[in-house]
């Protein structure tokens, strides 16, 4: 594990998760017929040049004071042409100055930069609109889709903030704010639509809409030193620019004659170091018959033998439900290494035999206590230098070790060489290409922290299973977002990518964490309670494990992701609708089926029963931003 917090700006450079980042749920305007007057009510079209903003005026009701309001919000829409513009969402306020003529008059409410001097939490990344980095954390965003951004007005202070330029708690009357999407560090313009600009309090019981088009003329403000013009107009075309026609029908055709990988399963890692271990109740929730249905449990192989028993109770519990145990060492014992430390350094060649005995002793120790280690890794992330338990291995060093000791260790457990932090082929290819080394292991494992997701053809051609053994997604600056349904769909897209790339297994990082499968009590989660990402992984665990992935072709349904699987008695499917609209279509099966059962999850409910009429052509409707798993009994 790269023991770090990944910000979205970091993830921007790590397309490795191998997914197009899912965007959060948002309101979708119905494509109803509208009159011209209705269609343009309250909607403005803004072209912001070099970081300009549109200004809005708020008039508080008589007797109201500014202290009763805690946030400013607006609904935005960006068309496909401008959606990938590098922009941030910002609000600036100068409650006494209508022309915003002096930079010193502004109080900054600035979201989206990775710098620590901004006053977060982040609303958008500094790559607004990027397919690989977009994440709007309030309301959700997508091209040609209305989404909401909220800016808190209290308790957030930018370094340039001056209280003298901001309304006091007892202030009343008129206030002015600039609200918009600004270009970030580049010249140029961005065009967007905005509506429903408002002040409100925490629960929305107090709301004041801006004057919008009633403002005599737009105000112009540049971010930083520049002040550039900004064009504003009220759209005259009929129709809400956010309205989208419902997607056309889709057709999914399953072809069981085209077979891909056998799916070993899904799971995650027990907590390690200072984090609390999973409890047996947690294991019930994750692996039990009425739980989430996982079947792979990754544990840490500590260098300290005194800690080897730490996982025995929960590992035994998981294995009683049929779980496979993957044990991963972060470092050999310090005395076997070049630097006599558990951090960094390398395993001395003269100590290869002692390390092999160390691994075999661990396997035997757990076996003596009733736990079978099914797969043993030789090293966590051998190809990156970090400041926690670790060990550096070159591909040549790993090949030498496997050649000498892999087959011997393999008599006790299946062997997985070092798990590259980016699934780097240049680390594992040398092991695969040497027949004497390739005979010493049976599983290729790796992580996807920046290395991408792609089929590992050479490993499969040599009969090796390919396991994705660690990844996580979390959102620096707004960790509460990670337990939301929008964040869960990001994981769904990633798992789909791994299955489509013929991976045999998918394993998350910590199973119990606010960004994971069970809550730990932080950032609004409840300790031990399944989270949205937990249910998403459950869809795959319960409907793909043990089956062979087969071909599933898709026509139409540009927002749909689908994989299909076949076992001896059933055909199953996992279908993700990443779009903001419901989508209807047909599933065509190669043989008649006796029955169809399944479950559906969305932001509204999770793992709800879904039953379809059996046959060879089956009608299916997918809810917006949902995941559906189906099983057809032959």
For 84-98, give one letter per residue: b (16+ CB within 10 A) or e: ebbbbbbbbbbbebe
Does residue 470 have an active-site annotation?
A: yes
| pLDDT for residue 177 | 74
Please report which residue ranges of 16-146 form alpha helices under DSSP H: 36-40
What digits encode the pLDDT tens for the residues 262-316?
999 999 999 998 888 899 999 999 999 999 999 999 999 999 999 999 999 999 9
Confidence label for 251 from pLDDT (cuts 50, 70 and 90): very high
Length of the chain as a residue count: 634
Report the relative pairing of strands 375-377 and 324-329 from DSSP bridges: parallel
* pLDDT of 1 over the 70 cut: no
Would you state the pLDDT for residue 357?
98
* Tens digit of each residue's pLDDT (9 = 90 or more) over 450-468: 777 999 999 999 999 999 9
Confidence of residue 358 (pLDDT cuts 50, 70, 90): very high
Q: What is the pLDDT of residues 82-112, one digit of tens each?
A: 665 666 666 666 554 444 444 434 444 443 3
Q: Which pLDDT score is estimated for 112?
A: 39
> Residue 229: what pLDDT?
59
Task: Give the domain CATH number at 400.
Answer: 3.20.20.80
Active site residue 396: no
Q: Which of 514, 545, 576 is the last residue of a domain?
A: 545
CA atoms of 488 and 532, how far apart (whole Å): 6
Range of the domain at 371: 264-545
Would you say residue 9 lies in a domain? Answer: no
Report which of 346, 454, 517, 634 is spatially closest to residue 17, judged by C-alpha positions: 454
Residue 141 in this model has a pLDDT that exceeds 70:
no
**565 and 448 share one domain:** no
* pLDDT, averaged across the chain: 80
**Window from 49-58, 432-441, 511-520, 602-611 with minimum mean pLDDT:** 49-58
The structure tokens listed for 279 are 């409890």
Within-domain flag for 553: no
Pairing of strands 414-416, 375-377: parallel
DSSP assignment string, 472-500:
----TT-GGGGGSHHHHHHHHHHHHHHHH
Res 215: pLDDT: 41
Most confident among 8-12, 43-47, 509-513 (mean pLDDT): 509-513
Contact 570, 633 (CB under 8 A): yes
- Helices 532-544 and 485-500 pack at an angle, to 10 degrees, of 30
Is the confidence at residue 237, as pLDDT, over 60?
Answer: no
204, 298: one domain? no
Task: Give the C-alpha separation, 617 to 252, whole Å.
Answer: 10
Per-residue pLDDT for 20 more than 60?
Answer: no
Which sign, positive or negative, has the C-alpha torsion 13, 16, 18, 19?
Answer: negative
**pLDDT of res. 515:** 95
| 490 and 593 together in one domain | no
Distance CA 357, CA 98 (A): 76
Tell me how far CA of residue 425 lies from CA of 313, 469, 543, 595, in angstroms. 36, 15, 30, 43
Whether the pLDDT of residue 260 is over 90: the answer is yes
Reading phi first (left if > 0) and then psi (alpha if -120 to 50, else beta), residue 112 is in: left
Same-domain check for residues 156 and 304? no
Please report the pLDDT score of residue 225 as a whole number: 40
Instruction: Give strand pairing partners of 112.
Output: none
Which range among 83-87, 162-166, 367-371 has the greatest average pLDDT?
Answer: 367-371
pLDDT digits (tens, 9 = 90+) for 496-520: 999 999 999 999 999 999 999 999 9
- Please name the residues in contact with 488: beta carbons below 8 A apart, sequence gap of 6 or more: 531, 532, 533, 535, 536
Distance CA 234, CA 213 (A): 7
Find all residues with CB under 8 Å of 102, minimum gap 6, and list them. none
Give the residue, 192 or 341, on which the prediction is more confident: 341
Which residue from 559, 618, 550, 622 is spatially nearest to 588, judged by alpha carbons? Answer: 618
257 versus 24: the higher-pLDDT residue is: 257
Is the pLDDT score of 15 beyond 50? no
Report if residue 218 sits inside a domain. Answer: yes
Is 211 domain-assigned? Answer: yes
Distance of alpha carbon 239 from the chain centroid: 34
* pLDDT of res. 16: 26
Residues 178, 322: one domain? no
Tell whether 436 and 312 lie within a shared domain.
yes
Q: What does each C-alpha distance from 27 to 166, 203, 229, 554, 581 come to in angstroms? A: 32, 19, 31, 26, 9
pLDDT at 371 over 90: yes
Least confident of 20-34, 203-217, 353-367, 522-536: 20-34
210 Cβ contact partners less than 8 Å away, ≥ 6 residues apart: 56, 57, 58, 177, 197, 198, 199
Neighbouring residues of 355: CB distance < 8 A, sequence distance ≥ 6: 332, 336, 347, 401, 405
- Statement to judge: residues 453 and 322 lie in one domain: yes
Q: Which has the closest alpha carbon to 103: 218, 250, 222, 193? A: 222
What pLDDT was estimated at residue 390? 98
pLDDT band at 169 (very low <50, low <70, confident <90, very high): confident
- Say if residue 142's pLDDT is above 80: no
Within a domain: residue 322?
yes
| pLDDT tens for each residue of 535-563 | 999 999 999 999 999 999 999 998 899 99
Q: Say if 15 falls within a structural domain.
A: no
- Taking the C-alpha atoms of residue 376 and residue 401, their distance in angstroms, rounded to an integer, is 14
- At residue 130 the predicted structure's pLDDT band, cuts being 50, 70 and 90, is very low
Query: pTM higher than 0.85, yes or no?
Result: no
Residue 188 pLDDT greater than 80, yes or no: no
Lowest-confidence pick of 109-118, 139-148, 181-190, 562-571:
109-118
3-state DSSP helix/strand/coil % of the chain, to nearest 5: 20, 30, 50
pLDDT: is 196 or 593 the higher one?
Answer: 593
CA distance 459 to 466: 7
Determine which one of 44, 465, 470, 623 is catalytic: 470
> Any alpha helices (H) in 188-287, and if so which ranges?
280-287
Nearest to 145 by CA among 236, 240, 73: 240
Span 558-585, pLDDT tens digits: 889 999 999 999 999 999 998 878 999 9
Q: Up-side HSE of residue 442: CA atoms within 13 Å toward CB?
A: 12
Percent of the chain beyond pLDDT 90?
55
pLDDT value, residue 248: 83
- The answer, yes or no, to whether the previous bond of 121 is cis (omega within 30 of 0) is yes
**Beta pairing partners, 584:** 621
Instruction: Based on the fold, state whether residues 297 and 356 are members of the same structural domain.
Output: yes
- Across 9-18, average pLDDT: 24
The mean per-residue pLDDT over the stretch 400-427 comes to: 97
Domain membership of residue 4 (yes or no) is no
Q: Are residues 489 and 566 in the same domain?
A: no
Looking at the structure, tell me whether residues 493 and 585 fall in a common domain.
no
Q: Residue 93 has what pLDDT?
A: 61
How many domains does the structure of the chain reveal? Answer: 3
Please report the pLDDT score of residue 230 as a whole number.
Answer: 63
Domain end call among 545, 579, 594: 545
- Active-site annotation holder among 44, 381, 419, 600: 381
Q: Is residue 6 part of a domain?
A: no
155 and 42 together in one domain: yes
Residue at a domain's end among 518, 545, 572 = 545
Q: What is the CATH number of the domain that holds 617?
A: 2.60.40.1180
Q: Give the pLDDT of residue 23.
A: 20
**Co-location of 565 and 540 in the same domain:** no
pLDDT value for 6: 27
Strands (DSSP E) found in 475-579: 505-510, 548-555, 560-566, 570-577
Residue 41's pLDDT is what?
A: 47
Name the region of 308 (left: φ>0; alpha: ψ -120 to 50; beta: rest).
Answer: alpha
Distance CA 530, CA 517 (A): 6
More confident residue, 167 or 549: 549
Regarding predicted confidence, which is higher, 519 or 41? 519
């Amino acid at each position: 594990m790269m023991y770090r917090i990944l910000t979205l700006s970091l993830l921007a450079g790590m397309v490795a998760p191998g997914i197009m980042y899912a965007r959060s749920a948002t309101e979708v305007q119905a494509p109803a017929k509208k009159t011209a007057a209705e269609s343009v009510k309250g909607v403005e079209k803004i072209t912001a040049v070099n970081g300009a903003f549109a200004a809005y005026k708020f008039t508080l009701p008589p007797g109201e004071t500014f202290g009763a309001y805690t946030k400013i919000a607006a609904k935005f829409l960006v068309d496909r042409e401008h959606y990938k513009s590098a922009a941030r969402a910002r609000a600036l306020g100068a409650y006494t100055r209508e022309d915003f003529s002096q930079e010193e008059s502004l109080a900054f409410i600035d979201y989206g930069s990775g710098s620590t001097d901004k006053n977060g939490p982040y609303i958008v990344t500094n790559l607004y609109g990027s397919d690989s980095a977009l994440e709007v954390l309030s309301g959700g965003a997508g091209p040609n889709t209305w989404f909401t951004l909220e800016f808190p007005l209290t308790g957030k202070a930018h370094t340039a903030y001056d209280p003298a330029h901001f309304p006091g708690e007892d202030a009343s009357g008129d206030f002015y704010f600039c609200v918009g999407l600004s270009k970030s560090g580049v010249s140029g313009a961005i065009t967007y639509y905005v509506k429903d600009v408002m002040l409100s309090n925490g629960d929305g019981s107090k709301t004041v809409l801006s004057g919008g088009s009633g403002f005599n003329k737009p105000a112009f403000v540049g971010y930083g030193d520049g002040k550039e013009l900004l064009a504003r107009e009220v759209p005259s075309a009929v129709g809400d620019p956010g309205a989208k026609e419902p997607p056309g029908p889709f057709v999914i055709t399953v072809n069981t004659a085209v077979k891909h990988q056998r799916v070993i399963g899904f799971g995650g890692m027990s907590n390690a170091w200072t984090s609390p271990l999973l409890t047996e109740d947690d294991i019930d929730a994750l692996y039990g018959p009425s739980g989430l249905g996982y079947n792979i449990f990754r544990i840490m192989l500590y260098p300290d033998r005194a800690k080897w028993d730490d996982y025995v109770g929960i590992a035994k519990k998981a294995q009683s439900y049929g779980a496979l145990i993957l044990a991963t060492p972060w470092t050999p014992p310090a005395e076997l290494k070049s630097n006599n430390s558990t951090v960094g350094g390398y395993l001395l060649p003269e100590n290869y035999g002692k390390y092999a005995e160390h691994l075999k002793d661990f396997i035997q120790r757990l076996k003596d206590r009733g736990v079978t280690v099914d797969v043993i890794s030789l090293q966590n992330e051998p190809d990156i230098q970090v400041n926690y338990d670790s060990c550096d291995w070159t591909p040549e060093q790993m090949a030498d070790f496997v050649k000498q000791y892999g087959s011997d260790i393999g008599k006790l457990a299946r062997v997985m060489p070092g798990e590259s932090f980016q699934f780097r082929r240049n680390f594992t290819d040398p092991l695969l290409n040497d027949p004497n080394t390739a005979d010493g292991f049976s599983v290729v494992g790796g992580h996807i922290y920046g290395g991408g997701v792609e089929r590992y053809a050479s490993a499969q051609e040599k009969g090796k299973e390919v396991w994705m053994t660690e990844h996580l997604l979390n959102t620096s600056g707004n960790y509460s977002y990670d337990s939301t349904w929008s964040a869960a769909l990001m994981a769904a897209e990633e798992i789909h990518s791994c299955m489509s790339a013929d991976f045999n297994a998918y394993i998350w990082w910590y199973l119990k964490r606010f960004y994971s499968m069970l809550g730990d009590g932080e950032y609004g989660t409840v300790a031990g309670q399944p989270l949205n990402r937990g249910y998403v992984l459950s869809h795959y665990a319960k409907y793909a494990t043990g089956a062979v992935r087969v071909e599933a072709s898709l026509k139409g349904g540009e927002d749909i992701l689908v994989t299909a699987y076949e076992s001896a008695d059933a055909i199953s499917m996992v279908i993700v609708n990443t779009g903001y609209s419901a989508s209807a279509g047909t599933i065509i099966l190669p043989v008649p089926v006796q029955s169809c059962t399944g479950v559906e999850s969305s932001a509204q409910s999770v793992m709800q029963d879904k039953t379809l009429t059996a046959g060879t052509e089956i009608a299916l409707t997918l809810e917006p931003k949902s995941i559906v798993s189906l099983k057809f009994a032959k």
